[in-house]
Structure 1
Amino acid sequence: MELWPWLTAALLLLLLLVQLNRTAKFYAKISLYCALCFSASIVAAAVCLLRHGGRTVENMSIISWFVRSFKYLYGLRFDVKGRQKLTVDRPCVIISNHQSILDMMGLMEVLPERCVQIAKRELLFTGPVGLIMYLGGVFFINRQRSQTAMTVMADVGERMTRDNLKVWIYPEGTRNDSGDLLPFKKGAFYLAVQAQVPIIPVVYSDFSSFYNTRKKIFTSGTIKVDVLDAIPTSGLTVDDIPQLMDTCHEAMRTAFFHLSKTPQENGATVQPHAQPAQ
């Protein structure tokens, strides 16, 4: 029996469904995004190995080039303010809000030279994506073992100053599309105080007008990005970390509402102040 007519009919039906059904279109775009991540990781890994021979922060410029190209396919535009604040030639800790899988595009859009990320260890085992993260010098942390995580963070602090690295961390610790910021975890702030390096907050506007998992929306849109002024940690100690966290959280939250044009009601969206340790 000839299968081609049936396969063609099924493909046409799928294309029609995607055009007519918002949910189908949403999952089709998500599937394409995942496929892009895997295929681009394979190609980028080969380029990284040919160019630099192995694991090095220098590979991040190659990875960034591949990921930045995704925005053209999805009709996304980045409006960045204060980009020059990330070009300082010294170690620092960069923190930003964490909303969705699209954050990777946002990160690569403004990623400065000699900057690596801290990620959960599970991502190391995601095939070519884990491989390219490893080749880019990403530090992996086992969040289930606090002692191991602390050892990795101590090593990161030493390497920051020795190798003149910038380290990018999501202090919320998990994706959050609530329209507000979650309380921050302490890891990024311990790292900055330990290494006595400044913290540079980077804030991305709310994605929900064009990317919303609950409403199954994934359309084109503009992401506003604001790189805030560096917050110094020189002379601070562990005892100063709670105040440092509050200062960064307040500054980023204010910027987030401003960028997102979201009215900040009197305490209506304020999150609990409990700060879970990382």
Structure 2
Amino acid sequence: MSLAGGLLFYFVLGLTVIPLSLLLLLSIPFTSRADRYDMIRAWGRLMLAVLRRTCGISTRVLGMENCPTSSAVVLSKHQSAWECFWLGCELPFRCAYVYKESLNRIPFFGWALWSVGLLGIDRSNGRGAFQTFATKGVSFLRQGWGVVIFPEGTRVAPGSHVKYKSGGARLAVMAGVPVVPVALNSGLVWPKNSIAKRPGVVTVSIGRPIETRGRSAREVNEEAEAWIEAESTRLLSAGRN
């Protein structure tokens, strides 16, 4: 574990997110949502490069050829904050993340999120929250964006399993777009709630798109969950060897 490397990474992150957020806010009258997203994407790639230099964490990708070039719901395993950076930077389409609307109130980082207008949801609103999510999500998908959802709802330690929520599959069925399952083992190098990082390689595996037309959300969700969990277990075993 490298505490010094982790501290240096977060120092650079904090140092760069302030000017980024100010740039995004000031550019709102002159840029589109897509332009501002691309600014964040460039910053995210910079952060991944910084992570590689400060903490020795690199990336291996399997199955990128399986990923559509637009309009898909991405259901991803969630073990750390690493995948929030990587998915937004390296998938072949812009990604609208589903996140708690309250994050918009965090100084600088939250302001940057707000400036792009992604899928911030007030979860306390119950059924209304899903209706808002569905309306916004379908709109993004019709514009060629992807929608990224962590169906476990929280970060889960490597080797652990939380039953998947069905909201992402429901959205994909409603919009008639495929589900892209993503497995990974990022928790091996970026432990939950830890500043320290472990040098190593994060392996990301992208599965074949799951067709949703004519299928139930439950069936789609179960297929995605089965593949993601089996593949993440395989990656976990390989990463520990």
Q: TM-score, normalised by structure 1?
A: 0.74
Residue among 17, 20, 27 paired with 1:44:
20
> For the residues of structure 1 that align with 2:32 and 2:114, how far apart are their CA atoms?
7
- Tell me which residue corresponds to 1:84: 65
Tell me the SS of whatever aligns to 2:14: helix
Q: Name the amino acid aligned to 1:76.
A: I
Q: CA deviation at 1:61?
A: 2.4
Task: Tell me what 1:96 maps to.
Answer: 76
**Corresponding position of 1:222:** 201
Equivalent residue, structure 2, for 1:59 = 36
Q: Is the 8 A contact 2:66 2:208 kept in 1?
A: yes
Q: Deviations over 1:221-273 (max 9, x none)?
A: 1000111100011123xxx222221111110111101112169xxxxxxxxxx
Instruction: Return the structure number with greater relative CO, CA threshold 8 A, min gap 6.
Output: 2
**Bigger Rg over Cα:** 1
Change (3 A) 1:213 1:162: closer
Matches within 5 A, 1:15-164: 26=3, 30-48=6-24, 49-50=26-27, 53=30, 56-70=33-47, 71-72=51-52, 73-88=54-69, 90-164=70-144
Give, in whole Å, the separation in 1 of the partners of 2:127 and 2:9.
35
2:59 counterpart SS class? strand
Q: Relative to 1, partners in 2 of residues 1:213 and 1:172: Cα closer, same or farther, differing over 3 Å? A: closer
Q: Which moved further from structure 2: 33-42 or 166-175?
A: 33-42
In angstroms, what is the RMSD of aligned CA positions? 2.7
Task: Please list every run of 5 or more consecutive structure 1 residues that lacks an aligned counterpart in the other structure.
Answer: 1-21, 264-278
1:254 corresponds, among 226, 230, 240, to: 230
Distance 1:196-1:69 versus aligned 2 partners, 3 A rule: same
Gaps of 5+ in 2: none
The percent identity for this pair of structures is 23
Measure how far apart 1:121 and its partner are: 1.4
Q: Report the number of matched residues.
A: 234
Q: Secondary structure at the match of 1:176?
A: coil
TM-score, structure 2 length as denominator?
Answer: 0.84
Letter in 1 for 2:123: R
Q: SS where residue 259 of structure 1 aligns?
A: helix
- Cα deviation for residue 187 of structure 1 reads 1.1
Is residue 159 of structure 2 the alignment partner of residue 179 of structure 1? yes
Report the residue type matching 1:227 in the other structure. I
SS at the partner of 1:117?
strand
Q: Find the aligned partners of 2:90 and 2:28 in 1 and give their Cα distance.
A: 22
Question: Residue 144 of structure 1: SS of its match in structure 2?
Answer: helix
Question: Which residue number in structure 2 is paired with residue 191 of structure 1?
Answer: 171
